[in-house]
Amino acid sequence: MSKTIIISNRLPLQISIENGKLDVTPSVGGLATGLKSFHKDGDSVWIGWPGLTEEEIPEDLKEDVQKKAREENCVALHLTSDEIDGFYYGFSNRTIWPLFHYFMEYTESDDEYWRSYKQVNQKYADEILKHYEDGDVIWVHDYQLLLVPNMIREQRPEAVIGFFNHIPFPSYEVFRTLPWRDEVLKGVLGADLIGFHTYDYERHFLSSVSRILRHQVDFNEITLPDRIVKVDSFPMGIDYKKFEQAALDHFESTTADQSELQRRLDHHLEATPDAKMILSIDRLDYTKGIAHRIRAYEYFLDKNPEYIEKVRLVMLAVPSRSNVPQYRRLKREIDELVGRINGKFSTVSWTPIWYFYRSMPFNNLIDLYTTCDIALLTPIRDGMNLVAKEYIATRTNHTGVLILSEMAGAAHEMNEALIINPNNFEQVSEALKTAFEMPKEEQIERNKMLQKRLRRYSVEKWANDFMKALRATKENRDSFKSIRITPDISEDIMEQFRKAKRRILFIDYDGTLVNFVDKPENARPDQELKELIRSLNAEENTDVILISGRDKHTLGSWWKDVPVELISEHGVWMRQIDGEWELSENVKNEWMDAVRPVIENFVDRTPGTFIEEKNYSLAWHYRKADPELGEIRANELSTVLKELISNRGLSVLEGNKVLEIKSSDVNKGKASSKKLIGKNYDFIFAIGDDWTDEYMFQELPESSYTVKVGIKKTSARYYVEGTPKVRSLLEKFRDNL
């Protein structure tokens, strides 16, 4: 039976060694907590690092570590301290983390870190492959493992692979500064489905793929030569029932059951019954805006002195990456800010900030969530922020106010919260005042709506929705397999080719025999290709016709030494072997003077585009333009041209990064059909890559072997993945002559 293989940097359990014995505890954190129930209830294996370096695990305990992991359906991947330093603390957290959170000034570009990152990603991929069996579904998680999907794809091309990025994906302008941007994008594109928390991150990723790798992007699909990659947003939820039940249990507990923290909280409430508690919980990270939050709180107290002794900021900062210099500096800054503000405002019986720098067990988090009247969460940039959702889930009496940064992914789902810009102290101050003064009826109304949404879109639904979408990519891929030229289909075609008494092959040029290039004039055929076409056409009962949208001068000069029949400009011109160019249709070109200025205007407005003028058509190329601008301008120009030429017997052909205006009476379908008149071909083959070739596929007899290059919607019976496969197919024809 197939299983799901989950891969993340860390396992959902923490393994430590106490007095020579292993101690295993569940990990805390968004991913570990979020996927725990999905992993526990399903047939899955979780691969990750257990939290101890190889050097920290005695040799006699290494097998015990694996055994403890296996008991939880996990596989412990051992990493050395050098690997942790370079891969995790280095590239992951000194390069990717700051860059993806827009802290470019903290981003380090170090070749050693990059090498370590690649090596460790390969180590994860190798471990996955040890456990992978046909039919398994692979789900890779987060920014530490960006290269893993493609590493798996290279070894197991048929695998179903999902990738989810749990942090923001930056805009193209930021991402492009990464020296290894191409490798990172190619690594992620090994997946069939790529998930993000919000549409903004999805849009940024698609923009980077389009602009940097120049892949075709249609809505949320990326067309690669051999497959289509789906990109979508799946906002991650929480285990809602767990937090709700914990809050209910908290209120039913007796005084004797209370934690020390709850007793201290109750003491403050009794001493100042009118005071409100503001909760602030974060990992100690520069992305969380903790220093900004403290300064905004100071601004609030300065502006509203009547709230002195009536509010208290309960701030929990969980230690994180303390060996990274920026985090050590941040810790010092926050310590100093808290000390200064407490010194500035404190009275005999009151301090404005109650500060904890430590981790807290789950029951203490529930104490804080249920006791504090307001949650103030103001990250400068945050992928999701599950604390906001957890706080709302614990408000079982529906009171409480959430103040949330618009920079957190959760803000897209939690509009009923007070949404603020964390950099605007005035706005934060006003939100705090609004929260203090908000009537209970309004609090209840807001929170009921939030709770209804969070209860419905729980972490289980998030995981199930992603897996459902991932499995759907397998079904979509299978739908193409009916026409993909597999070895069996290839052999069937070759058998019919060998049997045939008379054969004809129609072969497109750009995108079929050669790859597209930025400058069309650089797509010359190489000598090997020329010899291949020459040998195919040398057989007495085999006719090869190159049928292209190229102008006759270029096509003729490139193939002048090869005895092959040519059709240029989509069928306007034909040249017999060793013959002269002849017009195939009675076409006119006086319309060009009226249309040319319109296209020139678009050339002027769209950098990187140019006009190609042929004898009887005009082509606007936009391959070198900014991809998004190019598509916008192409749609605009197409609309303008269709209106302009509506009564002139002309049509607009939309090719691969090119628009061409030509006579409606001329197309590849008509040209190829003419070649069949009066001939008794019993093997007809046609291959091409874009919409101009569809006319040919549609016009040729149903018995023809029509082949599309690339995975695209087509009338062709079959498809191959790219130009190398085209050449391989033609070589088989040659070998079967």
Please tell me the predicted confidence (pLDDT) of residue 526: 94
| Average pLDDT for 470-483 | 76
Of 189, 185, 193, 203, the C-alpha closest to 164 is: 193
Q: What percent of the chain has pLDDT over 90?
A: 74
Residue 720 located in a structural domain: yes
CATH at 647: 3.30.70.1020
Residue 446 located in a structural domain: yes
Residue 240's alpha-carbon distances to 34, 243, 389, in angstroms, are 10, 5, 8
Please tell me the predicted confidence (pLDDT) of residue 402: 98
How far is 236 from 215, CA to CA, in rounded Å? Answer: 28
Please tell me the predicted confidence (pLDDT) of residue 506: 97
Residues 146, 289 share a domain: no
Residue 262 located in a structural domain: yes
Please tell me the predicted confidence (pLDDT) of residue 649: 84
Residues 626-656 pLDDT 10s:
988 999 999 999 999 998 887 778 999 888 8
Please tell me the predicted confidence (pLDDT) of residue 230: 96
Residue 470 located in a structural domain: no
Residues 577, 718 share a domain: yes
Of 167, 120, 119, the C-alpha closest to 143 is: 167
Residue 131 located in a structural domain: yes
Last residue of a domain, one of 233, 259, 279: 233
User: Do residues 633 and 654 lie in contact, with contact meaning Cβ atoms separated by under 8 Å?
Assistant: no
Residues 335, 211 share a domain: no
| Average pLDDT for 30-59 | 80
CATH at 156: 3.40.50.2000
Residues 47, 32 share a domain: yes
Residues 108-137 pLDDT 10s:
999 999 999 999 999 999 999 999 999 999
Last residue of a domain, one of 631, 663, 695: 663
Residues 163, 15 share a domain: yes
How far is 524 from 526, CA to CA, in rounded Å? Answer: 6
User: Do residues 50 and 65 lie in contact, with contact meaning Cβ atoms separated by under 8 Å?
Assistant: yes
User: Do residues 44 and 8 lie in contact, with contact meaning Cβ atoms separated by under 8 Å?
Assistant: no
Residues 136, 67 share a domain: yes
Please tell me the predicted confidence (pLDDT) of residue 305: 95
Residues 251-268 pLDDT 10s:
988 777 888 899 888 888
| Average pLDDT for 522-542 | 93
Please tell me the predicted confidence (pLDDT) of residue 37: 66
Q: Which residue has the higher pLDDT, 532 or 653?
A: 532
Catalytic residue selected from 192, 508, 510, 689: 508
- Whether pLDDT at 303 is above 90: yes
- Whether pLDDT at 481 is above 60: no
Residues 304-355 pLDDT 10s:
999 999 999 999 999 887 777 888 899 999 999 999 999 999 998 889 999 9
Residues 331, 428 share a domain: yes
Residue 402 located in a structural domain: yes
Residues 325, 247 share a domain: yes
Task: Tell me how many domains the chain contains.
Answer: 4
How far is 654 from 656, CA to CA, in rounded Å? Answer: 7
Residue 478 located in a structural domain: no
Residue 464 located in a structural domain: no
Does the annotation count 488 as an active-site position?
A: no
Residue span of the structural domain in which 255 resides: 240-456
Residues 619, 521 share a domain: no
Structure tokens at 309: 């002794």
Residues 340, 253 share a domain: yes
Residues 647, 517 share a domain: no
Residues 304, 210 share a domain: no
CATH at 568: 3.40.50.1000
How far is 365 from 388, CA to CA, in rounded Å? Answer: 12
Last residue of a domain, one of 191, 218, 233: 233
